[in-house]
Amino acid sequence: MVTTWFTSDLHLGHRFLAELRGFPTTDAHDEVVLGNLTAAVRPGDTLWVLGDLSSGRSEAEERALMLIDEQLPGITKHLVPGNHDSCHPLFRNAYKRQRRFLEVFDSVQAFQKMRWDGEDVYLSHFPRPGQDHVGMPSRYDDLRLTVPHLIHGHLHSTFPVTGRGQVDVGVEAWGLKPVPQEILQETLWGSLSRFPD
């Protein structure tokens, strides 16, 4: 059975995030994050990565692209880049980097609209405007979507539901694993009853 998977904020090779997640080294962190991906996603499946593949430094980014390309063959891979991905249009030279990302991913776009159960659902790295990491002012609000149903990353939340009709697919929210679309849809629709109008 073919499955569509979602994840975000892999941060491969990102020492600070590896330490925050409790790993002694970036190699140990990357082994677990990539191991969880390769254990779940099978050839023929589709994977949506909602940004932040690495720390964003050029050597870390190149290493992350190489690892994803090598370890996830036969999978349709899409990237909705984040603020740590040089191909995100928030960066002046993003158009120069997109070609490299398209060597690994089947598509790269700032956001994506889908149709689930007759409803429009948007994929973006960022949550809605006004939300950011705990204790930080909200950044990039001019790049964020204000839509009823939003799947996102960026927050490093330890719980998936971040608001009414809003679900975080960052690895922290899902035990450092990707989440299948079926579970994600249940979580999204369930969030509507948790946060009434």
Six-digit token pair at 160?
């998936």
**pLDDT tens digits, one per residue of 80-131:** 999 999 999 999 999 999 999 999 999 999 999 999 999 999 999 999 999 9
pLDDT at res. 135: 87
pLDDT at res. 11: 98
HSE-up of 106 (CA within 13 Å, CB side)? 12
Query: Strands, DSSP E only, in 31-169?
Result: 46-49, 76-79, 107-108, 111-116, 119-124, 150-152, 161-163, 166-168
pLDDT tens by residue, the chain, 197 residues: 899 999 999 999 999 999 999 999 999 999 999 999 999 999 999 999 999 999 999 999 999 999 999 999 999 999 999 999 999 999 999 999 999 999 999 999 999 999 999 999 999 999 999 999 888 899 999 999 999 999 999 999 999 999 999 999 999 999 999 999 999 999 999 999 888 76
* Pairwise CA distance, residues 115 & 128, whole Å: 19
pLDDT at res. 134: 84
